[in-house]
A and B are shown apart, each in its own frame.
Chain A
Amino acid sequence: MAELGSLINGLSLFTSLLAVSILILGIRRSDPAIIEMGYRALRAVLLLAASASLILMVLLAARYFQVDYVYQHTSRDLPLLYTLSSFWAGQEGSLLLWEVILAGLTTVVLWRHRDHLHLPIVAAILGSIQVFFTFLVTFVSSPFVQLPFFPSDGRGLNPLLQNPGMLLHPPTQYLGYVGFTVPYAFAMAALIRGQTGPDWIRTTRRWTIISWLFLTVGIVTGGRWAYVELGWGGYWAWDPVENASFMPWAVATAFLHSVMIQQSKGMLKGWNVSLIALTFLLTIFGTFLTRSGIVQSVHSFDQSLLGVYFLGFLATIALFSGYLIVTRGPLLRDRNSFEGILSKESTFLLNNLLFLGLAFATFWGTVFPILSEILVGRKITIGAPFFNQVNGPIFLAVLFLTGVCPLVAWRRCSIPKLGRNLLISILAGLLGAVTVNALWKDPFLSLTAGAGSLVTASILHELWKELRVRRTFHPREGALRALKGLVLLRNRKYGGYAVHFGVVVMALGIMTSSTLKQEATVTLTPGSRSEFAGFSLLFQGLEIDREGDVQVTKGVLVVNRSDGPSRGNRNGLARLRPARIRHPNDPQAHSEVDIHRFGMNDLYAILAGFGPAEANGKRESFATFKVLYQPGIHLIWIGFYFLLGGGLFALLPPRKGSRRESL
């Protein structure tokens, strides 16, 4: 069966090469029949890639350990769901996932945009990218390589990957990455044909938003997984893998804003094409970064051949996109103009500057250790404190701008008028900042609260203004009906505002959980207590379970309020059972955290160590716990739901009859 998988991969590569060749021939001859043949070949690639994926799934489910990939990532005792999710646990499987997603999206493009003028070129570009990934899966990193013997059991899935988050996080992340290939292909096709108007942007608007949403979901679910599984109490560590996903996200966010100027004024054509090309380049760069080994050490570059292929592909894409952008320069020149320095258009440009600044600062911090080693021969580390200090002020500026932008008029706005528009929002911002400062006396938290209040007040102000105008047209309409009508009619705008509000809530969650966080390391013997963050922690003892070959040691903590009535030692307010798990095939013990939610806050416990100790002449067990109290952390996940809901709402097609109703 593994041979069949390899054969199908080979066929898939051949078919995608054939598809691209046929499409190029068809485009050159302007022959619709040949082009149609190319489309069919691309559809066949999906069939082949899906078959190869199915074969890998079957091999995983059957635990066919002679296949190296199955041996490396599964074992007999692994639950079926995780066995199937190990499809993307390793490099080979994740590249196959990339290939099948790309083939799927290409087929959707062929179906949805079948009458689009640029489709043949778009299909040829998507097919060429498909060739690259299919080549990798066939010749460089195949999941169907077989071992010369049949092992009795596999090495098992990395325990950290045995978490429900891993079922969602990688596929959504890949859908986000691969999704940006579609707007990129349309942009390049528009350049090739010399039709640089907003048509490609209109066509790919949904693709861009959907890809952005998937990438956002991937990033947030990854953060959530890190929080509940990795056992260090955080959700974002600014490590190179996280940065690799953040960079394209930041540039895509800039793109989502700047396309509005091209749509409304026909300007920034070259800029938008460059932004989408950069987004796509960064998705490939991120993959190169994480698969080449370059971020750990410059010397490990040669050790991974895959990195060389990605670097070559990256250079090809950069040259191809750069060549098209430069040679089509005259067509990309803006003929329209801005009417005032202060306008909504200029705030969008400022937004672009800040998001690109975020992407650049992240890029710079990620690659600087490599530069340092090459240029001065000194290894340095750039960790979270650097990124927090550099990116923190930019994030704050983005948040302030999010509050100001909705109230700045299109075309031109005077400072006094902006001042009048912003007065209420500024007052709300000041009130928010002063209140939070009075309560918690933290300048960064106060600034975030101020910016958050400013954004919320601006959204409400804008909504109120538009409702007032609507009610002059529909005087008999009730307030709620008017609100519903307006929001449904302008779902793009209000969906966007819901996204902004979600970002505010997330920012507050990030700031409260990082600035007001309390943490301590306590070592306790059974029956002893420790006071922490207003809680009394009673250590009841260790529980040792054996699940097959896996040894699980749990430390039982009973939690009560320090000043409140105790509910008894047995149950308390909560019982936390953080654990250390030792797998037979892994020398390093893993931590299984336990979290108890108190409203928006979490009490988070990690079993850092345990053992027997001599105390008062007798031998008894002890346990060392790392405990964290994370105020407001649930705001992050709640904000994310707002963001997701807003994004999906903005994607809804305009309601039928809504325009008539508005009239």
Chain B
Amino acid sequence: MSRRIGLPLTAAVIWAVVLLFPLSPIHASWTVVDLEKRLMCVCGCSMVLASCLCSRADEMREDLRSKRSSGMDAEEAIRGYVLRYGQQVLSSPPKRGFNLAAWTGPLVAIIAGALILAGSLKNFVKRGRRRLETLKEGDEILPQLRTRVESELKKYM
């Protein structure tokens, strides 16, 4: 594998791992605050539970507190909410099935963009080299360049 392809590919793989890695794992001794960030308030305000101060949000927090004190596992508590309200109660979609398209869409787009960019750059450089090859020694490029350098130095320095 050439270095030119290898580097972006490595970066893409690292990013894919970061993307598909579960969101910050919840410890067995979870707190209400941990789950507040994972769930949406169900009052229709479109806010994450952690941000909402309405009475429904208070009820949800109270429910979480009681689940925690009853020793319920965090994932089990979340599953309960999904069963009751559907996947839209989660603040971000689980990384499986059709939802994978949400997580991988930007990655695919950026990789495609990077490939197009690499191809364009290669073409631009090839064209530049062809132009340089057609110039013979003693052509006017050096005096031109010298004049340009002098004028730029005067202008900017």
- Collect the chain B residues with CB atoms within 8 Å of residue A384's CB: 48, 91-92
A21 within 8 Å of B (CB atoms)? no
- A239-B46 contact in complex given A353-B117, A385-B38, A470-B157, C-beta closer than 8 Å: yes
A339 within 8 Å of B (CB atoms)? yes
The 8 A CB mask of A631-663 against B (1 = contact, 0 = none) is 000000000000000000000000000010011
Among B23, B52, B93, B117, contact of A382 (Cβ-Cβ < 8 Å): B93
Taking the closest CB of chain A, its distance from the CB of B60, in whole angstroms, is 13
- Name the residue of chain A whose CB is nearest to the CB of B114: A353
The 8 A CB mask of A349-383 against B (1 = contact, 0 = none) is 11001101100110011001100100110111111
Taking the closest CB of chain B, its distance from the CB of A59, in whole angstroms, is 31
- Collect the chain A residues with CB atoms within 8 Å of residue B126's CB: 337
A591 within 8 Å of B (CB atoms)? yes
Q: Which of A12-20, A278-286, A386-394 lines the interface with chain B? A: A386-394
Taking the closest CB of chain A, its distance from the CB of B156, in whole angstroms, is 6
- Collect the chain B residues with CB atoms within 8 Å of residue A365's CB: 102, 106
How many interface residues does chain A have, given as a range? 35 or more
Judged by DSSP, the binding face of B is helix
Q: How far is the CA of A376 from the CA of B101 in the complex (A)?
A: 12
Q: Which of A70-78, A229-237, A313-321, A545-553 lines the interface with chain B? A: A229-237
A-B contact count (CB 8 A): 152
- Collect the chain B residues with CB atoms within 8 Å of residue A489's CB: 156
Contact indicator A469/B157 (Cβ below 8 Å): yes
- Name the residue of chain B whose CB is nearest to the CB of A237: B51
Contact indicator A376/B98 (Cβ below 8 Å): yes
- Collect the chain B residues with CB atoms within 8 Å of residue A231's CB: 53
A519 within 8 Å of B (CB atoms)? yes
- A234-B51 contact in complex given A334-B124, A381-B92, A662-B155, C-beta closer than 8 Å: yes
Interface centre among B18, B110, B154 (most CB of A within 10 A): B110
Taking the closest CB of chain B, its distance from the CB of A227, in whole angstroms, is 12
Those 3 A-B pairs whose CB atoms lie nearest each other, nearest first:
A337-B128, A232-B51, A361-B106
17 further A-B pairs in the complex, CB-CB below 8 A; given A233-B51, A237-B48: A232-B52, A234-B51, A334-B124, A337-B127, A337-B131, A338-B121, A341-B121, A360-B106, A361-B106, A381-B88, A381-B91, A381-B93, A386-B92, A490-B156, A521-B32, A662-B155, A663-B154
A: which residues have CB within 8 A of B? 230-234, 237, 239, 267, 296, 334, 337-341, 346, 349-350, 353-354, 356-357, 360-361, 364-365, 368-369, 372, 375-376, 378-386, 389-390, 393-394, 466, 469-470, 473, 489-490, 519-521, 588, 591, 606, 608-609, 626, 659, 662-663
